[in-house]
Structures are given as C-alpha cells and as structure tokens.
C-alpha cells in the first residue's frame, strides 16, 4: 500500500478504470494530461530503446515533442548513436514512467524520419541558445574537453549573432508509429493492472488484452 501523501490513487484521477479503455491514443492523451499536472518535471520524457549493429539493445531518455494518431515524435542528431542505430534498424520501443502517478506506458513500432518541413518548424521554436548548441554539438562523438565545446558554441554564436538560426543538416526528428501499447498502473500488494493493445497493420483494429501483473 502506498501512503505517500502526494501520490495519486486511481479514484482521484479523471481517467477512472483505464482497463475499460478501447482507444490507446485517447487513453495515452488522458494519462499524459494527468502527468503534466502531476509530475515534478519533464512529463514528456521517454526512454527510447534501439538496437545496435550487433543486436545489443541501447536506451536513453529523449523528450516527446509531438504525439497524435500518427505516432510519437522526438528530435536529435542524425549522426548520434541513436541516429545511426535507427538508420540500420528503424524500429524502436518507448517507455514513459510517471512516478507521481505510479504508471508506465510502453510503446513499440517502426520508426520513420519526420519531413524536413516538420523538423524546420520545430527547430524554429527552440530557444536561440539551444539552436546554437545544436550546431556546436557533434552528439555522441568524443569531446576533448568542456572548453573545446564552449569554443565551438562561441564560434557558432558569432556566426549566427544576427538573424534566424537555420536547422543544422544533421539534426532532425523521428516518428515511432505504435503497433503495440501497454498501460500499467500500480495497485496495492503488486496486484497491478496491465492492458496491452496490439494491431497487426496500421489500418487494422486494436486488440486489447488484460495481462497478469
């Protein structure tokens, strides 16, 4: 039983008995809204799992920058480890863990790059310092010292001191299209609720299954 005062129980949440849900996108949207209201920070943070050339799984946090019926979008550097892994095997798994709600959502599916227009539009919304940082960072490459990075940032800041910062060519986004969702909510004594949604094809209906915890 959880007796921490700021942890929310199912009865206090607007989503009610989530195991009755039929639409995983709608359920995700409801849970995300509750996480936005309740998490200390970064309710849109998700673990992104990919696999390297040896099939060895790799995982790191990224921020979800878009979500709709087409999937989950994040942005990063194409030449980063994740960028290279997704180029070789365009499939991924995502995990959201909202500690304040004691919930997790798992997502799996194929990955496609976002369009240049989409990446440009999102890049334009970033603070200028972050845009300059994207030019200065060779993400996931060895960095000799913090000073070397600061020098690169200063150089880019001078180059783009005036006017809009264009999107660097090696910086873009990806979309994970869910073929599988799992929603998990803590229940007392580890008797948790889990429901899984799967679809064999994009235009096929979702099949829902309740799982033992």
Chain residues binding ligand FMN by CB under 6 A are 42, 45, 58, 60-63, 74-76, 80-82, 139-140
Among the listed residues 190, 194, 199, 210, the single catalytic one is 190
> For residue 60, what are the β-bridge partners?
48
Closer CB to ligand FMN, residue 80 or residue 131? 80
> For residue 188, what are the β-bridge partners?
none
What is the token pair recorded at 19?
Answer: 């195991």
What is the token pair recorded at 56?
Answer: 């060895």
Closer CB to ligand FMN, residue 77 or residue 108? 77
Per the annotation, the verdict on 190 as an active-site residue is yes
Closer CB to ligand FMN, residue 171 or residue 181? 171
Nearest approach, Cβ of 63 to ligand FMN (angstroms)? 4
Nearest approach, Cβ of 164 to ligand FMN (angstroms)? 21
Closer CB to ligand FMN, residue 22 or residue 128? 128
Could you give the residue numbers annotated as active site? 190
């Amino acid at each position: 039983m959880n007796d921490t005062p700021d942890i929310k129980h199912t009865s206090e949440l607007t989503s009610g008995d989530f195991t009755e849900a039929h639409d995983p996108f709608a359920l995700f949207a409801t849970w995300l809204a509750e996480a936005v209201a309740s998490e200390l920070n970064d309710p849109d943070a998700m673990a992104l799992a990919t696999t390297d050339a040896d099939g060895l799984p790799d995982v790191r946090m990224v921020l979800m920058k878009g979500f709709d019926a087409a999937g989950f979008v994040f942005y990063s550097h194409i030449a980063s480890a994740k960028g290279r892994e997704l180029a070789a095997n365009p499939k991924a798994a995502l995990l959201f863990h909202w500690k304040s709600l004691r919930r997790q959502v798992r997502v799996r599916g194929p990955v496609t790059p976002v369009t240049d227009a989409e990446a440009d539009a999102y890049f334009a919304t970033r603070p200028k310092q972050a845009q300059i940082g994207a030019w200065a960072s060779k993400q996931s490459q060895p960095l000799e010292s913090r000073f070397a990075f600061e020098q690169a940032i200063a150089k880019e800041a001078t180059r783009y001191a005036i006017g809009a910062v264009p999107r660097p060519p090696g910086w873009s986004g990806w979309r994970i299209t869910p073929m599988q969702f799992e929603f998990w909510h803590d229940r007392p004594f580890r008797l948790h609720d889990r429901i899984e949604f799967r679809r064999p094809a994009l235009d096929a209906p979702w099949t829902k299954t309740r799982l033992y915890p």
